[in-house]
Structure 1
């Protein structure tokens, strides 16, 4: 009898907790949505409702797979109007000096500085800690800059020109430095640095994979019949990966052998060759990144999805879908548990790779295609840029947004506001009490 009573009480407790969790989740989502639809001129109320939803959410008795997305978006939208520059029509996390599409953002070895490139031919150096300061012009050209890459040591930038060559630009303006601006006029499809070496790899317009030193000495290490969109070199074993317009992932392992493999031969005997390829479908592969532990290759495609590829076992892990258009850029965070993607659908997304059921955080405040994105070196912030000519910064943790609201607003929700937006049946508490 005692066992029956104990079991019944436990069942009631579990049921009650489930009901409470559902009710709190619904409250968090409702308050987040009401904050989102509130007009920007109700700045303080919009922010306080979002902040109170965050406080209910962080208490933990909330369904985890939906509400974090609503909380993040409402907090961001509220912060956008706190300190909004109405003269320049710019939010607090927005900077813009480029006069055309932002094509790349990359960090070097300075934690608070990053570089951006644009089709306007400029590379600008920004101070992440002081976003409204005028950026330094690191390089300027009359050519269209398709993308930029940073060497592992942070000392050299590579500017890849559209349908032309490339330039190597020292990031440290030191007259004693032996690296000067080096322009390579050979037209390229794609190019990247070789990790840990003063060399870079390029794919010529005619398909040769050429390894070059900064002294311009070159060595052909492969050949392709396909159109290459991006190159990535594995730091661990030197394997070269190429994402192609035809939807094939190509790879060359050390020791490299100069051998062209026609498309029809891609799946034949690849295990016995330096070169091998995987036909992943007819959708173009636009971007690649390798996880920090070297085990996973992330592949962004025209289809709007991401393929996660097991490098050691050479097989598919899973496909991540969500974007409504081409994935344009992709990057793992420093820990390897998050993945950033950008897309022509006008959004960037942060995916939690530890839990496939969790919805991504959607960064959707650009007014055009988003072409580029990057985590900062600590993984706490994301930088994005695109066709609207602006660069935006985003914290990964919504706690930053919540803290900023309380730092800028010197009042809590009033009792009447609490009754309207939270509910009369929920005991009143002071927003921003911690």
Structure 2
């Protein structure tokens, strides 16, 4: 089994904090999710997560005007510069302070940073290959100017269209106008007059006006005019920036949290603390509409380039919305779980992932697009477990509200609800592979409840455990049910057998999780002491054991007195699952590590780190002694009492509560993994963690993945080789060097899709079997994937079928011997062939229908009144012959009906 799984996507969380950002073309939205960045493609309806990760949560992100450089800054002022198109990290840098505002100049040559109350101008790093000077850039970040003038934190930056001037808005109740370089006759100007902190400041499209928005809902319009005497209308003072108009949003006690201005259309969007947003037309201040898009305050808003789409982010509920204001419709509406996720499961086809959480919601995520398809809210308490029936699209969930619910994922409805005779909270769940019975265990009862899915009736209560049932699992053949309990035993039940008794398998600690191997011949159990134990199902003999305490332990809490290696809470596996082939087992717990073991040898194959985000508790191996003060850890000190506003000083947290309370979240959530699951194909696995739903996969789709590349392989050399092959083929000379094959292999090594497609379509059909037969086997997986994709995207039907036939004729035995390795590629080819067959089927059915219609019409007959019926026309040739027979020798004819 392959073990080189890599992080591929982050689902389950769409927005945490920070600013949202549209790409320059306005089709993609960038959202900071913890210490990572997720990109939502709003046109193709897909999402992906960039591969890099910060050490703390991201505060600010900004794209260069060309859209090729992405600059992200975390809470500590550490920045990562990324080539956004290639998704490659270029440089790391520290601004030595928390960055509150960030903006690239329209020219792209500079960017401005607000570090506390200081304003800094930096030169934009040049991307490799675009700098015409030919000089090597040794310092990507070069400071241009460092200015001071504000007395409090800078909250917003805005450049003029010519990149010469800059507007800053600050908490010190003022806005200021700066120049990038010293200008003759220009002095930095302060715009004072607001009664609360200025949230944003903007230039108008013609640069003649300035708009400033303050936290108390005031909008001031400034113009560069001289003061005039109202009686004589003569200038009595020199020209300067003055307030010419004051407007107010009048949202009662709600405050302005964020704003965005689209200068070409004079559109102002304002987000308020009560979940409303307002859309205004400036300078007349006409209100277009005011709508509620969130249950909590709106933390960030942005507008795309055309001014049609508005993006809103709400950090409290993790909401991300994209609103088209002209049609008043949602382009994107996504929300993660409000609280921690408890369990997850892959659908049988591997295309969907279902997650459940403490917020009582059940969410279905599409693996390919990364979007949430549907959310079920019928449960009234935390949902603790979920399981799919092996056949059909039926999902079962268990909840602390005392119900087991069955969901139809085709019609998206709850069609059955199971309850116990007495009110119980269910924490574990198992479904028979045939989907006939469902079993559940409860922390309030020692019995296992068994229901019939068809009737909804309680069939049996399996008694035998002397403690709460913590885990349940059905074997793939449906003959056995394994149950784990806090009484330190695992029991195997035969649900459909005549007897319902079982002998306990004794362990030395409480059972946390049980799992069956895919063939149903082995069962594994995880216990509180960090042990993994494996039994043979047939004779109930222990086959193996793994001590995982050293492997899973890691990470030190900010208030922990023990070292990371000695911390007691992280030394066990809360969830385990077998791989698709049954050779490995994946285990995770209240730790930052996920461990992959080989069952036969007990060897640790790989450890996956869940998160490196130090904003979470348990991600650091060593604590910084500077953060340990006499009053305790610096990260746990209550700093809200120092806030200037009353509502910010009120502490609404419940004492001692770490999860599930109705008050504010704690500032130090703990890293943990509550559930893991392998995809049915074994090509990926997912983990429900504090960060969200992490998907790890064996990546088969790379942005740039050169294979055995050397310096002689360039696009020009490949095209030159291809032209030589075409010339030789056109002249009819024998190609002893097989130049088409050489060009094809060179294109595979470079792995640029456009060049690969050009070489592929240039190969003559008669030469395809020879090229495929002589192709080295190392390129076969890539060729299979490429041909499957070409069959779906290109109209060359027969040409692609010739390639597929040649592949299986020449390498069929090799594919059969390595079917496990080639399984994803073979499935993609099968899917492409099925699509071709369905399209041809629809086409032939349509042609047959058209022929039947034409033959049912009156036809031209000769004097002999000869007629033909449909049964006599079995082919197009017979129809042609019949048309000739219907004419007389003299050519006269008349219309008659078919018999």
Report which structure shows greater RCO (CA 8 Å, sep ≥6): 1
> TM-score scaled to structure 2, two decimals?
0.25
Larger Rg: 2
> TM-score scaled to structure 1, two decimals?
0.50
